[in-house]
Amino acid sequence: MAMKFSGILLVSDIDGTLVEAPASIPPRNIAAAQRFTEQGGRFAIATGRSVLSTKQFVDQLPVNAPCILFNGSGIYDYAAQKMLTANYLPESFRQHIIDFCAAFPTMGAVVLDERDLFSVAPMTYTDRYLSKELMPFVDYDLDCLRGDYLKVIFTMDPGMQPDAMTFLEEQGWQDVHCVRSSPYFIEMLPLHCNKGNGLRRLSETVGLPLDQIAAIGDYDNDLEMLQTAGYPATVSDAPDRVKQVCKLVVGHCMDGAVADLIEHLEAYGLT
């Protein structure tokens, strides 16, 4: 007998959707994800976090598909413990950091490779916000970075973000993509990297069409994913610009938003 969710993939954002770190994942979400996979569903994560930062959540969930990491710059298979695809920042990202931080001297900047986070600017906001979200980092000199990097997180007071976004728009950089991922983060990604394109690659990897994929997220960095998935959902406190692209608005993250979505799928399917 065919299982209820066979041939369906559910992809969830972490922060503000699955959980608000440093709190624990709501038990409702864990129990619902378990039911979903026991009935044949595939469950994956789509996050801006790194391999190690995401693992603490994967270990608590029945993840049985590769995950979208670094806001779409990479796809990682936790079962095989390997990166399936990765896109790296151009060498120009270093000068972009210098220019951006010169315009906003108190802003933090954290560079990510596949495993580690390197703070290369003042740490006031970085320590305040990344530590709260259980994302450990090390203080480092930008000139000493060697290797390939998947993204940069700029940390700031929420009041700085509108001016910071205006500055980025005025630069007209053609080799990177910048997006707000929370009220206190702006991220710099390789050009064309976002969760939407990551979802397309994941769809090909697992062999499931986009119309058989449900996705749930809460902020600007989830928009492309929600616009790409066959069944997009968001949380009750998401910005209106996110709600407008979704078919379903569920409850608050910490009340079990992911469980709300799964219960809807149990009752109505992808309709």
Q: Do residue 49 and residue 34 come from a single domain?
A: yes
Strands lying side by side in the sheet with 151-155: 138-139, 117-119, 108-112, 151-155, 185-190, 176-182
Three-state SS for 64?
Answer: coil
Domain holding 229: CATH number? 3.40.50.1000
The average pLDDT across 126-131 equals 78
Q: Do residue 186 and residue 209 come from a single domain?
A: no
Q: Do residue 127 and residue 200 come from a single domain?
A: no
Q: Do residue 160 and residue 185 come from a single domain?
A: yes
Sign of CA dihedral 246, 252, 254, 257: negative
Residue 1 lies in a domain: no
Q: Residue 124's domain spans which residues?
A: 93-190
Q: Do residue 16 and residue 146 come from a single domain?
A: no
Residue 141 lies in a domain: yes
Range from 1-15, 132-146, 197-211 that averages highest in pLDDT: 197-211
Mean pLDDT score across all residues of the chain: 95
Q: Do residue 121 and residue 186 come from a single domain?
A: yes
Q: Do residue 76 and residue 207 come from a single domain?
A: yes
- Give me the pLDDT at residue 95, please: 97
- Residue 133 banded pLDDT, cuts 50, 70, 90: low
Instruction: Give 23-43 pLDDT, tens digit per residue.
Output: 999 999 999 999 999 999 999
Instruction: Give 235-263 pLDDT, tens digit per residue.
Output: 999 999 999 999 999 999 999 999 999 99
Among 16, 6, 71, residue whose Cα is nearest residue 216: 16
Instruction: Give 197-235 pLDDT, tens digit per residue.
Output: 999 999 999 999 999 999 999 999 999 999 999 999 999
- Give me the pLDDT at residue 124, please: 85
Residue 237 lies in a domain: yes
Domain holding 138: CATH number? 3.30.1240.10
- Give me the pLDDT at residue 220, please: 96
Strand 108-112, strand 138-139: pairing:
unpaired
The average pLDDT across 79-96 equals 97
- Give me the pLDDT at residue 122, please: 86
* The domain boundary residue, chosen from 170, 190, 210: 190
Residue 2 lies in a domain: no
**What is the pTM for the complete model shown?**
0.94
Q: For residue 20, count other CB atoms closer than 10 A to its CB.
A: 18
Among 110, 97, 65, residue whose Cα is nearest residue 84: 65
* The domain boundary residue, chosen from 125, 155, 190: 190
Contact 4, 266 (CB under 8 A): yes
How many domains does the structure of the chain reveal? Answer: 2
CA gap 62, 139 in Å, rounded: 34
- Which residue has better confidence, 70 or 126? 70
Residue type, position 102, single letter: A
* The domain boundary residue, chosen from 190, 225, 242: 190
Residue 62 lies in a domain: yes
- Give me the pLDDT at residue 109, please: 95
Q: Do residue 75 and residue 106 come from a single domain?
A: no
Sign of CA dihedral 2, 211, 250, 197: positive
Backbone angles phi, psi at 149, to 5 degrees: -130, 145
Residue 130 lies in a domain: yes
Residue type, position 22, single letter: P
Instruction: Give 156-192 pLDDT, tens digit per residue.
Output: 999 999 999 999 999 999 999 999 999 999 999 999 9
Q: Do residue 183 and residue 198 come from a single domain?
A: no
Q: Do residue 69 and residue 18 come from a single domain?
A: yes
- Give me the pLDDT at residue 129, please: 72
Residue 220 lies in a domain: yes
Q: Do residue 155 and residue 100 come from a single domain?
A: yes
Residue 131 lies in a domain: yes
Instruction: Give 73-87 pLDDT, tens digit per residue.
Output: 999 999 999 999 999
User: Is residue 130 over pLDDT 80?
Assistant: no
- Give me the pLDDT at residue 2, please: 65
Q: Do residue 77 and residue 198 come from a single domain?
A: yes
Among 102, 202, 191, 184, residue whose Cα is nearest residue 142: 102
Contact 44, 67 (CB under 8 A): yes
